[in-house]
Structure 1
Amino acid sequence: MKKLALLLLLLVSFGILAACGSEDAASSGEKKEEKKQVTFGATSGPYTDMVNKAIKPVLEEKGYEVKVVEFSDYIQPNLALSKGDLDANLFQHKVYLENFAKEKNLELSELISVPTAPMGIYSKKFKSLDVVAEGASIAVPNDPTNAARAFLILEDAGLIKLNPDADPLTVSEKDLQDNAKNLQFKPIEAAQLPRAVDSVDLSAVPGNFALAAKMDLLDALQLEDMPDQYRNRVAINTKDKDAQFAKDIKEAVESADFEKVIDEEFKGFGKPEWME
């Protein structure tokens, strides 16, 4: 009987130890799942800087390990996101994101808009748009979306008048109702617009290309009053909209620390409506 009792005691002990081992393994597994990592993609220049300086530190304070991947084009960041190589990216405005996702049949969504470098009108010939000469040449982007932005800046500056019924997202030279200065429009590739400042009277340069060319945004004769559709967004896969990392990225961008870095290091960037 004593031997039987001892045997039963040993079996119970082994059972308890096995259960504890299982709980420890489960606990270890849970801890492993709780490890937080975010891979963030951004284009070279100001938006990689924004992730590194204004978003990454806040996420790290929340316990995330953040990897930043830098891209040199506007195609790969969305493809990498859709494949799961990235958790989020930052480089594009709403119009581009929606068009790209539709064309490529991707399930991508915006998470939150961020301060964005505005397009500006630059010149080495004129000190003010008030003194622009008759027949002055102006280089504008040759893609419809950015060209529309250029025409809206010129209208805000009082140099042209556009058809009030025209769609502001697609407005073009065809929608001109008045061109009092007889401006000569020269459509060229957006990336070449900073160089065009040397060869034309005026050049409408998107903010990202201006910064890449080491231009000072505050040197522009006029910066655009940017529609919110043209402010860059943090984009994620639609399936991750309710994920905790997505909520934490949004909180990071909404934080006081983020805005402090923007105010100190990204002067001239137009803030989205939610920040104003």
Structure 2
Amino acid sequence: MKKIILTLFTAIAVLALAACSSTSGASKDKEITLGATAGPYTDMVNKAIKPSLEKKGYKVKVVEFSDYIQPNLALSKGDLDANLFQHKVYMENFAKEKNLKLSEVVVVPTAPMGLYSNKFKSIEEIKEGSTLAIPNDPVNLARTLIMLKDAGLITIKEDTNQLTASEKDIKDNPKNLNFKPLEAAQLPRAVQSADVAAVPGNFALAAKMDLLDALQLENMPDTYRNRVVVNTKDLESAFAKDIKEVVESKEFEEVIDKEFKGFGKPEWMKK
């Protein structure tokens, strides 16, 4: 009888150890490292994505970057499983330039460009001949011109490609606005000197500006919204599908509405 009892206890112990080992292995398999640029997108990962992934059993590490180059390089080297900081145009150009295979998992709410002014309180108040500081890089310039069109400040030629619009595509400038091209990073300071400044959302937030103070926020196309990105080989992985499920959840949108006021939602969230 003692031998039988001892044998039973031994069997139970072996099964318990096997279960523990299995649980430990699953936990290790569900470790994930997410990268994001400093500021709102690191906050978005920490506040709106990480908690729900942890509920799914993941051990989540968040890595913060101060530039727009290292997050993709770290992803390609396997130091990250996914990152959040870039729009479609940047991702595709970077991947082509560096010969990387990157794919988007899901588009997220993004801080839009806005028209800011310390001199005017509305678009209608903008006076003829006012100086308007605008970005000097092609991508942000195109976004600015579409925003000015939507605000009724200019018209552009009918056959203009919204992704490549430039000053030569302006058809009418009824208020004779004086455009002053600047580096995008300088535009928050230009609010002090120019009559109006078009400031990209990430630079506005970095300068502690309130998005809701803008005279007008852009109606941003999804092409320019940030997305969660993975190496293409991981696009169908379990963790990529879980990230997509988290971002598409009701809990995610509730955090966005509470913590990220003024962020423009992608088309899939509006349906």
1:66 aligns with 2:52: no
1:111 aligns with 2:105: yes
What secondary structure, in the 3-state scheme, does the structure 2 residue paired with 1:121 have?
Answer: strand
Q: Structure 2 residue aligned with 1:32, among 25, 29, 33? A: 25
Q: Give me the whole-angstrom Cα distance separating, in 1, the residues matched to 2:27 and 2:111.
A: 36
Task: Determine the structure 1 residue equivalent to 2:187.
Answer: 193
Q: Given the two structures, how large is their TM-score scaled by the length of structure 1?
A: 0.89
Counterparts of 1:123-134 in structure 2, within 5 Å, are 123-134=117-128
Q: Give me the whole-angstrom Cα distance separating, in 2, the residues matched to 1:241 and 1:90.
A: 15
Task: Determine the structure 2 residue equivalent to 1:159.
Answer: 153
What secondary structure, in the 3-state scheme, does the structure 2 residue paired with 1:110 have?
Answer: strand
What secondary structure, in the 3-state scheme, does the structure 2 residue paired with 1:166 have?
Answer: coil
Q: Structure 2 residue aligned with 1:247, among 234, 241, 258? A: 241
Amino acid at match of 1:70: E
Amino acid at match of 1:32: G
Counterparts of 1:35-54 in structure 2, within 5 Å, are 35=28, 36-54=30-48
Amino acid at match of 1:86: L
1:259 aligns with 2:259: no
Task: Determine the structure 2 residue equivalent to 1:170.
Answer: 164
- CA displacement, residues 226-245 of structure 1 (integer Å, 9 cap, x when unaligned): 11111110000000011101
- CA displacement, residues 111-142 of structure 1 (integer Å, 9 cap, x when unaligned): 00001111000001111111211111111111
Q: Which runs of 5+ in 2 are unaligned?
A: 1-9
1:225 aligns with 2:219: yes
Change (3 A) 1:106 1:26: farther
How large is the Cα RMSD of the aligned pairs? 2.0
Aligned residues: 258
Structure 1 outlier segments of 4+, above 4 Å: 24-27
Task: Determine the structure 2 residue equivalent to 1:97.
Answer: 91
Q: Which runs of 5+ in 1 are unaligned?
A: 1-16
What secondary structure, in the 3-state scheme, does the structure 2 residue paired with 1:267 have?
Answer: coil
Post-superposition offset of 1:34: 5.0
Q: Give me the whole-angstrom Cα distance separating, in 2, the residues matched to 1:201 and 1:47.
A: 30
Amino acid at match of 2:62: V
8 Å CA contact 2:71–2:83 kept in 1: the answer is yes
Post-superposition offset of 1:76: 0.7
Q: Given the two structures, how large is their TM-score scaled by the length of structure 2?
A: 0.91
8 Å CA contact 2:27–2:59 kept in 1: the answer is no
Task: Determine the structure 1 residue equivalent to 2:7.
Answer: none
- CA displacement, residues 18-38 of structure 1 (integer Å, 9 cap, x when unaligned): xx98xx779937852552111
Amino acid at match of 2:249: S
Q: Give me the whole-angstrom Cα distance separating, in 2, the residues matched to 1:101 and 1:48.
A: 22
- Structure 1 vs Structure 2: percent identity of aligned residues? 72
Task: Determine the structure 1 residue equivalent to 2:77.
Answer: 83
8 Å CA contact 2:27–2:57 kept in 1: the answer is no
1:204 aligns with 2:237: no
